Amino acid sequence: MSLRSLYFSAAQSFEAARRTGGDLHGHGFCARLVAAPRSFDAAFPGAEVDTLAEQLAAAVAPLDYSLLEDHVENADDAALAGSILTTLNLEAPSALDLRSAPDRGAIVKSGGERLAWQRFRLEAAHRLPHVPPGHKCGRMHGHGFEVTLYGTIEPDAEAHAAQQGIARAWQPLQRQLHLACLNDLPGLENPTSEVLARWIWQRLEEALPDRVGVTVMETGSAGCHFDGERWRIWKSMSFDSAVRLARAPEGDRRQLIHGHTFTTRLHLAGGLDEVMGWVYDYGDVKHRFDPVFRALDHQPLHEQPGLADNDPASIAAYIDAEMAAALPGLSRIDVLSTPGCGALLCRRPDERGLLVP
């Protein structure tokens, strides 16, 4: 366990008005925070997610239904994210992703790094020519792909300008990819998510030199991220379970049997198989996880061997122990008990991708 790093995440939405970009207007914002456990004191072991969520809610409460310029001089996405992170006053490493719209936002890390991101959707068909006979992806089919581009915000620049730059750089690729058969495009003869992410990265070299990552999701539960050197894929699954936090103090309702629809996201890192065009087959990841899924889904986790503690971090550690041999490329395990709130167990000392996606 020496190389493993544990983080917790929390999310909080708020409604506010601002004047960035011209006229007064409003947004439904969502702030998503990731922090190491040493950054804050939990009420009791197992309460880390709730404690972090409470701190984030308190930090954004003054912003809810307010004019943001009353709190932050230049209330663009990055400045606002930085202000919330400063208010939280957490130890490094921590980071905050502020989403101002479903398709855009900014990430600010405790070390000062600032990133802008924007998401785009394209409808396209593809088939994977090298999969084994009978594999469903060998048939021509289609997806509503979502592509998210991440770029560095220069020290004196605003997030809005960086987002506009990302959008301009993307438009020529949108015209090529949207309503197309990807296999027909040069370089995409085997258009897996990983190959598509690399193809996009390479074609943005001149138009978006400050890019730091490309995320491609072909479904809502499967995606990949490419940073110019490394790939990371993930497969998300949900399970419905009962829990009981035995370490909660007397009178705390979390000591009683209750439950969640948990979401787990298994991340795998590795080199690209140049024949198959993938790091791992998404379907194979799901198949290998199935025995663990069946042990978790529609079960009282507090009665399961190895899950006397059944908070998100303990569930992530359980999955880690059960899946290490079956998925040697497993690099991170996310377990969320509610949307945006949970534990992130990194099996490798890499903090770069904590907020991606």
Span 165-218, pLDDT tens digits: 999 999 999 999 999 999 999 999 999 999 999 999 999 999 999 999 999 999
Task: Show the tokens assigned to 50.
Answer: 């709730």
Q: What is the pLDDT of residue 91?
A: 79
State the pLDDT confidence band at 130, using cuts at 50, 70 and 90.
very high
Q: What is the pLDDT of residue 225?
A: 95
Q: What is the pLDDT of residue 356?
A: 57
Quick check: 276 and 131 in contact, CB under 8 A? yes
When the pLDDT of each residue in the chain is averaged and rounded to a whole number, the result is: 94
Q: What is the pLDDT of residue 224?
A: 95
Q: What is the pLDDT of residue 22?
A: 76
**pLDDT at residue 320 is higher than 50:** yes
User: Residue range 86-102: average pLDDT?
Assistant: 92
What proportion of the chain, given as a percentage, has pLDDT over 90?
Answer: 86
**pLDDT at residue 93 is higher than 60:** yes
Beta-bridged to residue 15, according to DSSP, are 28
User: Residue range 43-71: average pLDDT?
Assistant: 97
Q: What is the pLDDT of residue 319?
A: 98
User: Residue range 32-52: average pLDDT?
Assistant: 94
Q: What is the pLDDT of residue 86?
A: 95
Q: What is the pLDDT of residue 1?
A: 37
Give the residue from 182, 194, 175 showing the smallest Cα distance to 126. 182
145-to-10, 38, 126, 205 alpha-carbon distances in Å: 26, 38, 11, 21
Rounded Cα gap, residues 265 and 357, in angstroms: 11
268-to-59, 128, 192, 265 alpha-carbon distances in Å: 33, 20, 15, 10
pTM of this prediction? 0.94
Rounded Cα gap, residues 311 and 314, in angstroms: 5
**pLDDT at residue 288 is higher than 80:** yes
Quick check: 45 and 61 in contact, CB under 8 A? no
User: Residue range 29-55: average pLDDT?
Assistant: 95
Domains annotated for the chain, with CATH where assigned, are 1-110 (3.30.479.10)
Q: What is the pLDDT of residue 350?
A: 58
User: Residue range 22-36: average pLDDT?
Assistant: 93
Q: What is the pLDDT of residue 53?
A: 98
